Amino acid sequence: MAQMGTSAVWHDADKNWEMRELPLPELESDAIQIRVKATSVCGSDLHMWRGDGIPEDAPPRDPFVFGHEMMGEIAAMGNKVTTDSMRRPLKEGDRVAYSYFFPCARCYNCLRGEFGACKFRLGRKPLEEWPVCNGGFAQYYYLRSPNYVFKLPDSISNAAAAPINCALAQVYEALHLGGVRLGDNIVVQGAGGLGVNATAVAAELGASKVIVIDSQKPRLDLAIQCGATHTIDMNEYETPESRIDRVMELTNGIGADKVIEVVGFPAVVEEGLKMVRMRGIYLEVGHISPNSFASIDVSTMVSNQVRFYGIQHYDPWIIPNAIDFLERTADKYPLTSVISHEFPLDQIGKAFETAEWLGTQKGSEVTRAVVTP
Ligand SMILES: [Zn+2]
Ligand SMILES: [Zn+2]
């Protein structure tokens, strides 16, 4: 009989989690079975959990397993796998970070080396089509081929390693694509998990000013510890106009060279586009929910020559660089110690409520909730 693992299955119909035992797939020779050790609740998980962007009268989605910000240990390897993606020897029990998408290696984008843009890359499939653990909120996660997997150093804890493949890798990719360079002025819209990582990466890339906007004081304090030179507290600057003015004031009336958006609500984009300097770059990461419509005067984007980049996923080389960055800067930025709330898998409901609470209450404790399946 196939080995079984527990997955947290989300049901839209009654807005509840079900702990379900699912069979593990039979291991292919070039695949890896991961025993998941830590999965953090990403802002995009909250969008998905709430059903943001889905019309009220839409039928419930089919039950599904999700979660993507994760790390784990090698539970089993197919007989063709002997090393990680940097050709370092790999064995059962090794702690690893990995991308949660699987480029097909035989499509238009893959041929051009754009693995993060392969249309066939996503791992999560409907339960009836792929009746196995296949999300991060589960005991096991199946890395089918081609997978990108990297050994983790002992100095990075499980909880600290979980956000590497999303919160950190995603903003790393965005700032890399945006060509952030020495002396740039950067605005970060949102100081959640992605925002504080973006702040630290921008600072490390040599940004002159890193201006971070959020409504929660503890998050802004954390942003300062992560390299922000200025913060804009939305309780103090209550209107979009006042925040845009503040960015202009801090940049001598020029605007930011690059603005990165990691909140995921359309009004934030409408506001942020007005913070970009002439021929500056807007890096849009936050919107993953459907029906995210913003009202934009396109003529101002033309006259201000604003470059708008939509960004999702990353090329696999980002992950080992992100691991090195985290290890190298551990004493400089508190990125490896921001996670304090840990929940076992059967308390995943509480993990989401805590993460939601953290995102909505003013003055709440700053953290990222982690599930430890
Ligand atoms: Zn994420
Ligand atoms: Zn492809």
- Taking only the tens place, the pLDDT of each residue in 186-215 is 999 999 889 999 999 999 999 999 999 999
User: Are residues 72 and 96 in contact, defined by beta-carbon separation less than 8 angstroms?
Assistant: yes
Tokens of 86: 């940097």
User: Are residues 33 and 142 in contact, defined by beta-carbon separation less than 8 angstroms?
Assistant: yes
Whole-number Å distance between alpha carbons of 231 and 186:
12
Please tell me the pTM assigned to this model: 0.93
* Closest-approaching ligand to the CA atom of 314: 1
User: Are residues 256 and 185 in contact, defined by beta-carbon separation less than 8 angstroms?
Assistant: yes
Instruction: Tell me what the mean pLDDT of segment 207-231 comes to.
Output: 95
Q: What is the mean pLDDT of the chain?
A: 93
From ligand 2's centre to the CA of 337, what distance in Å? 36
From ligand 2's centre to the CA of 270, what distance in Å? 33
* Higher per-residue confidence, 336 vs 124: 336
Whole-number Å distance between alpha carbons of 357 and 334:
22
The pLDDT of residue 207: 98
* Closest-approaching ligand to the CA atom of 108: 2
365, pLDDT greater than 70 = no
**Residues contacting residue 193 through CB under 8 Å, at least 6 positions apart:** 40, 42, 43, 69, 163, 167, 368
Rg (CA), the chain: 20
The pLDDT of residue 230: 98
* Higher per-residue confidence, 24 vs 357: 24
DSSP category for residue 319? H
> Residue 278, class by beta-carbon neighbours within 10 Å (0-12 exposed, 13-18 middle, 19+ buried)?
exposed
* Closest-approaching ligand to the CA atom of 106: 2
Whole-number Å distance between alpha carbons of 305 and 302:
5
From ligand 2's centre to the CA of 117, what distance in Å? 8
Residue 357's pLDDT band, with cuts at 50, 70 and 90, is: low
Paired strand residues for 11: 16
362, pLDDT greater than 60 = no
> Residue 295, class by beta-carbon neighbours within 10 Å (0-12 exposed, 13-18 middle, 19+ buried)?
exposed
The pLDDT of residue 79: 97
Tokens of 265: 């609500």
* Closest-approaching ligand to the CA atom of 192: 1
Out of 136-150, 160-174, 220-234, 332-346, which region has the weakest mean confidence (pLDDT)?
Answer: 332-346
